[in-house]
Structure formats: structure tokens, C-alpha cells
């Protein structure tokens, strides 16, 4: 293989988009340290993402410019560049047209959600991801559900969890004091906030058995009427400290197909911050939480209340579970998984 390695990354969003930031931009320094020339292209600009996160209408008029810019980035890529693609090159474009653009390229796909569902009711797009996966040089997936689905179509599959920079969290966990009031934390984006909103009735019941404050990290405007809570803007510089100062992290999910394909990144963050977690026994949550050791899997309102009460009543239990979670956090280290990704895309 040519000693010069070029990698063109085609993301959906810029660094402000959670999935693009966590599964692509954060890997850039590791690629560069390995001597790989990296170029990153985002399809949607920051203005589009801001409207998306604010729940505002996005104009379809922005798409032509985005298509043109993406096409230019493809043409400008190194002739021998390997492509690493988040989901697809062009939203709403048929698979065969994308295959035509990729016909002379060695390309890899990266998925962290069951994205095929968004095209399920569009006849000419419903099989798009399957077609692309079959043609790819390899596929990187974030969880077992995705690995099972795409592994039937492409034998070259690498499971890479959405990883964390452990140093960022370990430093915070060892240097901060807990909030004075018992704090249950949830961290997420406007795209996942509806899961928490739908969980509000259970949170109200939990508040009847424990005196806690729910800290929501994402948007400072979020509220949950009837739930003792406060919200703050997400900031990469402060997220680890806020998590480490909290007492328990939660990740409620409904037992539905899209949620079963989620990557449990919240739980991974809680483990890195060395706090115990409560989560629904859905999808990847079952793999990240070790029930009774690093937290509890809760399948009913009664389970959620009882599990929180156990952690609320016992500092020793919280400390033991947080410590156990911190030990396991090395399994989700970005330093570890960056090496695996590099070897997968550029095998010796």
C-alpha cells in the first residue's frame, strides 16, 4: 500500500452536531498522529443545525447549495483518498447515483443509529443504506443491533462504541465536590430530549420517594413541569465537571425499534465520570450497565423509584458503583478505539 495515506471524511454536520463531533471530528488528531492526511466536509451548515435544534423550520432552499458544496468537496478530494462517510453522501439522493459517484473510490460507512427508518416509507430510498453497505469496503457501527443488520450485507464490520476522552472525565471526577443537593443528571441534545419529556411521569413518582434535583445538560430553556429540575447549556468544557458533581445519571428509553439502535453514549459518559447509572433495559443499555454493579436496569416505574432510593440512601453504594463504572470506562476510551479504526481503514 502507498505509504501516503489520505482520508476524506464526509460528515452530516459540523462539530456542533453530536454524532459528527463524537464519531469523526474527535478522531482527527489520532488520524493525523498516525501520519494520515485528513480532510473533513460537512453537508449541513451550522445555521441549519441551529434551526434543527431549536425546533424551527428548515428551508429546502438550503439543500441545492449544500449539494453543490458536497459535490465540490468530492471533486477536490485527493485522487487516491479513502472516503469515510457518515450514513450517506447526499440525503434524499438515490443509492445508485451515490454508487456512481463512488465507483472508483475505496469507501467506508459509519452508523450510530438505525437511520434506515427515516427512509422506510419512501419507495425509492427505503433500501438505500442496504445498497451502499453492500458496496462499501467496510462498515463501522456503534452497537450490536447495527452490526447484526449490516453484517448480513457486508462481512467487513467493525463495532466501535461512541467513545470518550477518559482524561477529560478522570480529571473532573478526581477534583470536584458533589452538588450539595442530591442530583440526578441527564445529558443530551434536542433530538433526544423528547425521551426525557415522555419520562416525566416516572420522574414525578421518583420525586415522591427521594428529594432530588434533576440536572438537564443540553439547553438552558428546557423545563419539565412538576419535576424538580434545572437546565444548563451544553458546553464541552464543562460537561465532565457537571456529570462528576452529580450523584446518579439516567438514560430512560422506550422499547421501540429506533431506541433499540441507540448507542448508550450517555451511560458511557456517566461511567467515565464515575457515577452510577439508571437506564431502561433497551438495546445497548443492556451492554453498558452491569446491573447491580455499575447501576441498575429499570423496566417499570416501581423499579426506577426503588433503584434511585437505594442509591439515595447509601453513599457507600453510590461510591462503589461509581468506582466500578470508572474501571469499565476504559472499554470506551477513544484512544483505544482510534487505533482500531485506523487499522480497519488502513490495514497493514
Whole-number Å distance between alpha carbons of 10 and 27: 13
DSSP state of 82: E
Residues 150 and 206 in one domain: no
Residues 337 and 327 in one domain: no
- Report yes or no: 24 and 162 within 8 Å, Cβ to Cβ: no
Read off the pTM.
Answer: 0.93
CATH number of the domain at 203, please. Answer: 3.40.50.2000
- Report yes or no: 294 and 324 within 8 Å, Cβ to Cβ: yes
Residues 293 and 341 in one domain: no
Residue 171 vs residue 293, higher pLDDT: 293
Whole-number Å distance between alpha carbons of 210 and 347: 52
Q: Is 315's pLDDT higher than 60?
A: yes
Which residues have C-beta within 8 Å of that of residue 204, sequence separation ≥ 6?
226, 227
For residue 274, what are the domain limits?
166-332
User: In angstroms, what CA-CA distances link 309 with 57, 235, 283, 306, 343?
Assistant: 42, 30, 25, 5, 45
Task: Please give the mean pLDDT across all residues of the chain.
Answer: 94
Q: Is 79's pLDDT higher than 60?
A: yes
Say what the pLDDT of residue 319 is.
96
Residues 43 and 145 in one domain: yes
What three-state secondary structure class fits 165?
Answer: coil
A 10 A CB-CB count for 343 gives: 12
Phi and psi at 253, nearest 5°, equal: -140, 145
Whole-number Å distance between alpha carbons of 89 and 131: 13
Residues 244 and 148 in one domain: no
Residues 77 and 155 in one domain: yes
Provide the domain count of the chain: 2
Going by C-alpha positions, the residue among 84, 101, 273, 256 that lies closest to residue 179 is: 273
Q: Is 62's pLDDT higher than 70?
A: yes
Residue with cell 437506564: 279
- Report yes or no: 220 and 232 within 8 Å, Cβ to Cβ: yes
Maximum separation of any 2 CA atoms in the chain, in Å = 64
Q: Is 57's pLDDT higher than 90?
A: no
- Report yes or no: 40 and 28 within 8 Å, Cβ to Cβ: yes
Residues 180 and 316 in one domain: yes
Sign of CA dihedral 277, 282, 288, 290: positive
Edge-to-edge strand order for the sheet containing 229-233?
229-233, 213-218, 183-187, 248-251, 277-279, 295-297
Whole-number Å distance between alpha carbons of 335 and 330: 9
Can you tell me the mean pLDDT for 44-58?
80
pLDDT digits (tens, 9 = 90+) for 228-255: 999 999 999 999 999 999 999 999 999 9
Residues 216 and 72 in one domain: no
Say what the pLDDT of residue 166 is.
92
Residues 323 and 183 in one domain: yes
Residues 310 and 228 in one domain: yes
Residues 179 and 281 in one domain: yes
Residues 192 and 111 in one domain: no
Residue with cell 477534583: 175
Please report how the helices 265-272 and 166-173 are oriented relative to each other, as an axis angle in degrees rounded to 10: 50
Which residues have C-beta within 8 Å of that of residue 337, sequence separation ≥ 6?
160, 161, 163
Q: Is 2's pLDDT higher than 70?
A: no
Amino acid at each position: 500500500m502507498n505509504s501516503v495515506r489520505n482520508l476524506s471524511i464526509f460528515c452530516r454536520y459540523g462539530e456542533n452536531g453530536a454524532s459528527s463531533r463524537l464519531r469523526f471530528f474527535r478522531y482527527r488528531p489520532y488520524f493525523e498522529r498516525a501520519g494520515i492526511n485528513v480532510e473533513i466536509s460537512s453537508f449541513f451548515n451550522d445555521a441549519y443545525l441551529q434551526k434543527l435544534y431549536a425546533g424551527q423550520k428548515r428551508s429546502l432552499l438550503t439543500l441545492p447549495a449544500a449539494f453543490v458544496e458536497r459535490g465540490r468537496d468530492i471533486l477536490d478530494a485527493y485522487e487516491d483518498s479513502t472516503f469515510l462517510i457518515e450514513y450517506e453522501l447526499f440525503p434524499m439522493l438515490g443509492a445508485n447515483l451515490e454508487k456512481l459517484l463512488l465507483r472508483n473510490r475505496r469507501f467506508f460507512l459509519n452508523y450510530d443509529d438505525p437511520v434506515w427508518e427515516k427512509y422506510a416509507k419512501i419507495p425509492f430510498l427505503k433500501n438505500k443504506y442496504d445498497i451502499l453497505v453492500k458496496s462499501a469496503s467496510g462498515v463501522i457501527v456503534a452497537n450490536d443491533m447495527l452490526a447484526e443488520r449490516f453484517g448480513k450485507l457486508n462481512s467487513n464490520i467493525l463495532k466501535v462504541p461512541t467513545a470518550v476522552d477518559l482524561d477529560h472525565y478522570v480529571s473532573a471526577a478526581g477534583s470536584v465536590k458533589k452538588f450539595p443537593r442530591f442530583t440526578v443528571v441527564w445529558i443530551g441534545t434536542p433530538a433526544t430530549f423528547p425521551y426525557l419529556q415522555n419520562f416525566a411521569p416516572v420522574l414525578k413518582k421518583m420525586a415522591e420517594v427521594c428529594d432530588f434535583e434533576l440536572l438537564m445538560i443540553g439547553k438552558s430553556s428546557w423545563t419539565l413541569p412538576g419535576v424538580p429540575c434545572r437546565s444548563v447549556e451544553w458546553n464541552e468544557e464543562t460537561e465532565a465537571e457537571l456529570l462528576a458533581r452529580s450523584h446518579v445519571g439516567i438514560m430512560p428509553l422506550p422499547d421501540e425499534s429506533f431506541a433499540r439502535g441507540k448507542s448508550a453514549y450517555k451511560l458511557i459518559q456517566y461511567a467515565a465520570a464515575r457515577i452510577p447509572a439508571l437506564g431502561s433495559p433497551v438495546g445497548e443499555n443492556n451492554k453498558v450497565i452491569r446491573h447491580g454493579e455499575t447501576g441498575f436496569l429499570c423496566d417499570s416505574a416501581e423499579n426506577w423509584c426503588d433503584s434511585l432510593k437505594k442509591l439515595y440512601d447509601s453513599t457507600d453504594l453510590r461510591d462503589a458503583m461509581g468506582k466500578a463504572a470508572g474501571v469499565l470506562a476504559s472499554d470506551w476510551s477513544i484512544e483505544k478505539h482510534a487505533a482500531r479504526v485506523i487499522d480497519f481503514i488502513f490495514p497493514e
